[in-house]
Amino acid sequence: MKRIGILDIGSNSMRLSIIAQMDNGGYYVIDEQKATPRLANYVNDHILAPEGIQKLIDHLREFRGICQAFDVNEVIAVGTAALRKAKNRDQIIDLVASTTGFMIDVITGSDEALFGVSAVKHTMDLQDAYLIDIGGASTEITLIKNGTIIASHSFGVGAVTAHAVLHANPQAIDQLFLAKDFLFDSPQIELIGIGGTIRNIARIHQAHTHYPLSITHNYTMDHGQVREIVHWLSLLPIQRLRKTEGLSKDRVDLIVPGGQILLSAMTATKTSQLRISGRGLRDGAFYTRVLGEPDGPRFGTTVLESSVINTLRRFSTSENHATHVTKLASLLYQAAISSQILPIGYERVLYASAMLHRIGIQVSYYSYDLHTFYLIFSSSINGLSHKEIVMTAAISSYKSRRRMMQLCQPYQSLFQDGDFLIASQLGTLVRLAESLDRRHEKRIHTFDVTFTGQDFIITLPKTCDAEVEIAAAMAYSPYVKKTFAKNLIIKKA
């Protein structure tokens, strides 16, 4: 296993992610560290002042100690707008290398945008969208169509520098955006937001609405909701901002200027929806510089498949068994659709649930279904909505409808009438599919399914040698009775 450090030296904050890269190709974050030197405040006449340089070096020494503690094999350090604008950046790079051992790559605004695009492509379904990354001293906006970059520009204003810009000219940011025609090419497509400012706005909105999850990745807000939050924040004194739920303490004086940049971008692009990305520059740097795969996804053909396979490898769970159980569960589900027992539209949830149904084993065999619920819930499964993540956790760990509703009780506001019944039925199908591969030998590849008024009949091939699997599946006949109101019958042709 290798450990890679990804270091983002921004104009407001510096962030270190340490990522474990497993021998089987899986990867996961094992630690993170953040510092807030606000380098943009120390750039005068395009020179980073000695005090700012010292702050940079002091924090980098702290980061170096963390890298040493985790036996990091390699560190990729990238610098953005503050260093990009500094005429003395070459001297800074040399000084940092000699004092900390870190070799900083000061990237262009275009590369910064590309890293953001890479992060989104690996973790979200992306077709047509504007991407906005609000940093400390720059804002990158990129137009994507059919998953391809059409146009991109790095604007020289960010959350740290916006206050001075807006104080001098309240219309300055609007005027910057008006100068770029590509921002008006595709009205009404969604805006995907990257960066701490946007994540904080999402967290504040979640606190205001008592949203049951603390996940910001893939969270959505409309233009009116963003405007309402930014306006409300603008009315608060600094003391009240410090106590605002969801707002990081180091952003109390940046959130309103950063929010005004976001609102100007939403107005310019005429977008009605903001979708938040919890992944950004460090993730894009990892995908691009370490994996050499800027466009994603890494595994499979979709973001969801890639995320699921990476999760299986993260928890060292058999992909062969998981894939076969998923195939059998899909056969059962398609038969239920054909007989109008279950509705269409749950293919992705069933896929993720069946693939991940045993990852809890890596915690303990005993109560592994409960471990599976919590691991799925906290493993950042990409390619699913928040509701789908909760449903996947519930389906994969299904033991009874009552217990499922207890586990999901904190998240009931995400569900509609009938959702729990469907989740119970899909959970039963996953348990049946798991049983039909009880020995992990793929003895059953196909079968016929018939639903009658009273029975749920699975007919196996005549030559199928699967007595152990049949017995295991029949043990779930009470589940079938409760969720489908039918008797389970398994027979050979």
The amino acid at residue 352 is: A
Q: Which of 399, 160, 175 is nearest to 258 (CA)?
A: 160
| Amino acid sitting at position 379 | S
Token pair belonging to 218: 């893939």
Q: What is the pLDDT of residues 98-147, one digit of tens each?
A: 999 999 999 999 999 999 999 999 999 988 999 999 999 999 999 999 98
Q: In this predicted structure, what is the pLDDT of residue 142?
A: 96
Residues 6+ apart with CB under 8 A from 161: 11, 40, 136, 137
pLDDT, tens digit, 9 for 90 and up, residues 450-476:
999 999 999 999 999 999 999 999 999
**How confident is the model at residue 124, as a pLDDT?**
94
Residues 15, 86 contacting (CB under 8 angstroms): no
CATH 1.10.3210.10 residue ranges of the chain are 303-492
Other beta carbons less than 10 A from residue 77's beta carbon = 24
Question: Phi first, then psi: what are they for 11, rounded to 5°?
Answer: -80, -25
- Each residue's pLDDT tens digit, 5-41: 999 999 999 999 999 999 999 999 999 999 999 999 9
Report residue 234 as tokens. 């603008």
Output the CA torsion 254→255→258→262 (10° steps): 180
Residue with tokens 């603008």, as numbered in its chain: 234
Inform me whether the pLDDT recorded for 170 exceeds 90. no
Burial environment of residue 446 by CB neighbours within 10 A (0 to 12, 13 to 18, 19 or more): exposed
What are the tens digits of pLDDT across the range 76-105?
A: 999 998 999 999 999 999 999 999 999 999
The whole-model pTM stands at 0.93
Q: Which residues, 6 or more positions from 314, have their beta carbon under 8 angstroms from its beta carbon?
A: 22, 26, 27, 28, 379
110-277 belongs to which homologous superfamily?
Exopolyphosphatase. Domain 2 (3.30.420.150)
Q: Give the pLDDT band (50/70/90) at residue 295.
A: confident
Residue 31: enclosing H or E segment and its boundaries? strand 27-35
CATH topology of domain 2-106: Nucleotidyltransferase; domain 5 (3.30.420)
209-to-199, 304, 352 alpha-carbon distances in Å: 15, 28, 28
Q: Please give the Cα distance from 30 to 344 (Å, whole number).
A: 38
Q: Report the SS3 class of residue 316.
A: coil
Place of tokens 């008797």: 487
Where does the chain hold its CATH 3.30.420.40 domain(s)?
2-106
Note the pLDDT tens digit of each residue in 234-257.
999 999 999 999 999 999 999 999
Query: If you average pLDDT over residues 182-205, what whole number do you get?
Result: 94
Domain ranges in the chain with CATH number 3.30.420.150: 110-277
At residue 234, the pLDDT reads 95
Domain 303-492, CATH class in plain words: mainly alpha
Tell me the per-residue pLDDT of 60-70, one tens digit each, with 9 for 90 and over: 999 999 999 99
Phi, psi of 252 (to 5 degrees): -60, -30
Quick check: 103 and 92 in contact, CB under 8 A?
Answer: no
Residues 482 and 325: their CA atoms lie apart, in Å, by 22
Q: Write out the DSSP string of 189-204.
A: S-EEEESHHHHHHHHH
Residue 165 confidence class, pLDDT cut points 50, 70, 90 = confident
- DSSP per-residue letters across 280-295: -HHHHHIIIIISS-SS
What number of helices (H) and strands (E) belong to the chain? Answer: 20, 16
pLDDT of residue 171: 87
H-helix or E-strand spanning residue 255: helix 255-269
One-letter amino acid for residue 245 of the chain: E
Q: Measured between alpha carbons, how far is 33 from 316 in angstroms, rounded to an integer?
A: 27
pLDDT more than 90, % of the chain: 88
Average pLDDT over residues 164-188: 87
Q: How many CA atoms lie within 13 A of 393 on its CB side?
A: 25
Task: Kindly give the residue spans of alpha helices, DSSP state H, lying in 270-346.
Answer: 281-285, 303-314, 319-338
CB count, 10 Å around CB of 354?
29
Size of the chain, expressed as the number of residues it contains: 493
- Closest C-alpha to 165, from 257, 254, 230, 237: 257
The letter for the amino acid at 73 is: N
pLDDT class of 299 with cuts at 50, 70, 90: confident
Indicate if the pLDDT at residue 379 is higher than 90: no
Q: Are 220 and 275 in contact (CB under 8 A)?
A: yes
Residue 383's region, left for phi above 0, alpha for psi from -120 to 50, else beta, is left
Of 75, 77, 57, 56, the C-alpha closest to 67 is 75
